[in-house]
Structure 1
Amino acid sequence: MGISVDTFFLKPGGQGTLQAQIQQMIAEGILSGRFHVGEKLPSSRKLAAHLGVSRITVTLAYTELLANDYLTAKGRSGYYVSQNAPVPPKYTPVQRSEETVNWDAALARRFSDGDFLAKPPDWREYSYPFIYGQADRTLFDHANWRLCAVRALGHKDFDSLTGDYVDQDDPLLIEFIARHTLPRRGIAARPEEILITLGAQNALWLTSRILLGHGRKAAIEDPSYYALHELMRCSDASMTPLRVDKDGLPPESIPDGTDVIYTTPSHQCPTTATMPVARRHDLLKRARELDAMIVEDDYEFEMAFLGAPSPALKSLDKDGRVVYVGSFSKSLFPGLRLGYMVGSEPFIREARALRSLVFRHPPGHIQRTAAYFLSLGHYDAQIRRMSKALMQRRKTIEDAIEANGLTVAGRGVFGGSSMWMKAPDHVDTAELAKTLQNQSVHIEPGAAFFSGPDRPRNYYRLGYSSISADRIPAGIERVAAVIRAC
């Protein structure tokens, strides 16, 4: 029995080459059980005419499936589903009775009711996406990233691709971070003092599990990274939110008895305030008085396009009490989920052991691809390209904000990729965001960044890393118009 040619169609916007799409289409048909062993496929000529592709494309797809034992060829009669093709499992779904588990009693902890910022999956379809922290495909060097990924798949790197590092990391990536990335922040570190993480958030989680616990006290900025609130709650430590000012976290506000201080001195999250060098010294002095540890989240230092950034807090630390957290999420792309943590060797030793209990290490192929991308100079070229674009967008958004009478609550001294905004007191920016979505505008409400029950609801964030400069003015006009109508 033959499989009808009408069964096959190419999906609009399908990923990969036409050959790959045809291979996937046939493989999915076999794996799903729609195509059965022994059934004949349409001839390459007939399928090519039906799909509107060249015959050689179909022939190559068939040949690849033949090599992988999905198909078999019978002389001149054509291609058939192979006897050795993967067979879909046969099962009868179990009809479950009504669940009787008392989940209120069964769950020892809850994580789903915490603060988060919803990022619509179709945000790229918005006309005015003032979204923060997402990659701009027009700025990313996809061609060279792909070449680095292919190189990392080569025979020479077979061990880094397939091996289990156990609790270690790619030595090439560690070497680049130690020799090139950290010196830009004034930090000197040995390989034993560096740990690769699944982004900055993973690094913050590791620090909370190692440095905090029942009876410990943590000081965090208010407002601050919204996920940090939940990390503190899950650590069983007591948390003291400290209101930031135009220069970031005031050291004198840190209460006695504090064990760990979380801070974002270079680009305060989310206000983007930059902590002056004098205050950084005061913060280290206060931590020394308290014998407290400091976790420095330097998540956006590469975005300093308006001037050289201030030295990292870690670079000024003589006691070894600062744990430095960096990330490639903003400078490369967030889906990479690759960051790093720098600290004294005893701390990194514990972090490495804890990480190995959870996921051992970030995937070796991702680490090696990133190492090639960085070491071959592609990363620096991308940073220069991004900085130029962000500088233009920064000027455009500032001009548009001023022209429309909106209020800026915070802007980075050296750059960054967002503006922290304040609407009139009566405006709930969560409702504002919903209204703007209907006009193809995305903004981020600010309430989630604050601590406590009486959170201000009139703040919002405008990211400009993923919106082209020519779209910014019209988008800001729409934001201003809706605010005026509130």
Structure 2
Amino acid sequence: MQERRAATMGISEETFFFDPRSQGTLQQQIQEMVAQGILSGRFRVGEKLPSSRKLAAHLGVSRITVTLAYTELMADAYIFTRGKSGYFVSPDAPQSPKFLASHVPAGNGVDWSRAMGRRFSNVPRPDKPADWRTYHAPFIYGQADNTLFDHQNWRNCALRALGQREFDSLATDAFQQDDPILVEYIARHSLPRRGIIARPEEIIVTLGAQNALWIAAQILLTQRRTATVENPSYYGLREVLTPTRCKEIRVDIDADGLPPDAIPTETDVLFTTPSHQCPSTVTMPLARRQALMARAAKDDFLIVEDDYEYEMSFLKAATPALKSMDHDGRVIYIGSFSKSLFPGLRLGYMVGSEEFIREARELRSAMLRHPPGHMQRTTAYFLSLGHYDALLRRQGRAFHRRRNVMTAAIEEYGLRIAGSGSFGGSSLWMRAPDGTDTDALAHDLRAHGVLIEPGGVYFDDGLKPTNYYRLAYSSVSEDRIPAGIARIATALKNAPKA
């Protein structure tokens, strides 16, 4: 099938050019271009080469030079001719030895340890294999279940957004502006459900919550300011705080989330996930939310509220957002459609004072202008036509059933839940026996078709426990949960203790 697809593709003459450093005749240089393209894997079996006329015109040589080069390549079985259809890469062409590098990157003479002003690649994060669907029990967080998604209506919304009448939303550079239909839905439907009233000037669309966190951190923090975060907390938050060079203080959560009394007085910006604390799933009670807002007003610090998974409150109604209690404009609210629709969407939003959002638009514009117009308009239609609410109800029912099956299996096999989220959510926060290395446990379980998420990446590096892990039920079917939990229990019994 791959060769059949490749046979319909053509290699552009624009991929060929003479290297001033090359030696030999023009004919030999053309032969080398084609041979190296085949050996490196850039030119694949069945792909059509440029005609001798086109390649000659492009390179500025005579046609006979190209023809002679092609003739030599046919003699060496690199290419073949098919009647009057032209020249094609031969299935019998020599292949590059596997021990040879197919590409030598430019810039090997650069000392990158000195050239780079900052590094971003040393932040720990969970290992989520790309082939997770092939595992029997993939208890990994944040992946979509295609059996629950409304494919047909999403396709209809996408086609509508691609229509001629919608051409401006698809093709126009909106500069700093967002899709008005999407912003209107957020203002009139999403935010009021969280007790928030906001004008369009106070809303910005982002590429998911991660992008929103980055924008907020860049605007609010400097190396002279202090950010306070929960411990444990979302591992991606470290990625956005580190480049600001701010002072970072971690505060341990308890059974009700972040304790307001434990927040340092030197705090300039507090980052919190009160709806479903990440990763423990704890929901902050209303009284504590009120106490937190009072503390913020007293010590004059800002709050970045990541309203994590509030849509997954299928056990009971979600508690009002911190932003709904904000009378001073000190809360910056972040929401996302990526968790409730599908993670590949990468679409979220941020709400704050008009002055803050104006700066956020300027910063976003410097990096990416705005999220793609077609994705914004497709999402706006999916939301406004009621498909989103129907999807949330369907997901809630399915997650509720899976949660019941999982908690029953956990009880049967004697595993310990550290945090279950009294409002719902899509995962359970687990605690293995003291001394258990859940990184090693996760590695061993892969061989038995089970994926879990070790919890060490969510904790402060200095005091990092090794025995926490997360089990998500968003993308694993009910019938596979009990066997998966049983395999975890068996692996825990056999796991070495420190």
Q: What is the TM-score with the length of structure 1 in the denominator? A: 0.83
Supply the AA of the counterpart residue of 1:279. R
1:253 counterpart = 2:262: yes
SS at match of 2:463: coil
Residue of structure 2 in register with 1:367 after alignment = 376
Residue correspondence of structure 1 range 93-108 to structure 2 within 5 A:
99-108=108-117
Which residue is 1:154 aligned to? 163
Give the conservation status (yes or no) of the 8 Å contact 1:397–1:472: yes
- Quick one: distance in 1 between partners of 2:473 and 2:389? 21
1:11-90 alignment runs, 5 A limit: 11=2, 24-31=5-12, 32=43, 34-36=47-49, 80=85
Equivalence map 1:139-150=2 (5 Å): 139-150=148-159
1:351–1:81 CA distance, 2 compared to 1 (3 A): farther
Other-structure match for 1:212: 221
Q: Select 1:192's aligned residue among 201, 210, 217.
A: 201
Cα distance between partner residues in 2 of 1:330 and 1:223:
20
Match of 2:175 in 1: 166
Gap change, CA 1:102 and 1:402, over 3 Å in 2: same
Q: How does 1:297-446 map to 2 (within 5 A)?
A: 297-446=306-455
Which blocks of at least 5 consecutive residues in structure 2 are unaligned? Answer: 13-42, 53-82, 88-101
1:473 is paired with a residue of what secondary structure? Answer: helix
- The alpha carbon displacement at 1:114 in A equals 0.6
Deviation of the 1:94 alpha carbon: 9.4
- Alpha-carbon deviation of 1:257? 1.6
Shift in Å, 1:147: 1.1
CA distance change for structure 1 residues 30 and 431 in 2, over 3 Å: closer, same or farther?
same
Change (3 A) 1:407 1:356: same
Counterpart contact for 1:194–1:342, Cα < 8 Å = yes
CA distance in 1, matches of 2:494, 2:210: 38
State the distance in 2 between where 1:203 and 1:338 align.
10
Deviation at 1:452, TM superposition (A): 2.8
| Structure 2 equivalent of residue 137 of structure 1 | 146
Matched AA of 1:184: R
1:233 Cα offset (Å):
1.6
Partner Cα separation in structure 2 for residue 117 and residue 79 of structure 1: 55
**For the aligned residues, what is the CA RMSD?**
2.0
Q: Deviations over 1:394-415 (max 9, x none)?
A: 1111101111100000011110
CA distance in structure 1 between the partners assigned to 2:285 and 2:162 by the alignment:
45
For the pair shown, the structure with the greater C-alpha radius of gyration is 2
Q: 1:102 deviation in Å? A: 1.4
| Change in 2 beyond 3 A, CA 1:36/1:110 | closer
Whether the 8 Å CA contact 2:231–2:253 is kept in 1: the answer is yes
CA change 1:96–1:213 in 2 (3 A) is: closer
Unaligned runs of 5+ in 1: 1-9, 12-20, 40-77, 83-92
Structure 2 length as normaliser, TM-score? 0.81
- 2:472 alignment partner AA: G
What whole-Å deviation, never above 9, does each CA across 1:303-356 have from its counterpart, x for those lacking one?
000010000110011111000000011110000000000111111011011000
Partners of 2:10 and 2:50 within 8 A in 1: no
- 2:479 is paired with a residue whose SS is helix
User: For residues 188 and 247 of structure 2, what CA distance do their matches in structure 1 show?
Assistant: 38
* Distance in 2 between residues matched to 1:145 and 1:263, nearest whole Å: 32
Task: Summarize deviations over 1:221-262 as a string: whole Å, max 9, x none.
Answer: 000001112322211110100000010000000111210000
From 238, 258, 279, give the equivalent of 1:229. 238
1:58 is aligned to none
Aligned residues: 420
Query: Is 1:268 equivalent to 2:277 in the alignment?
Result: yes
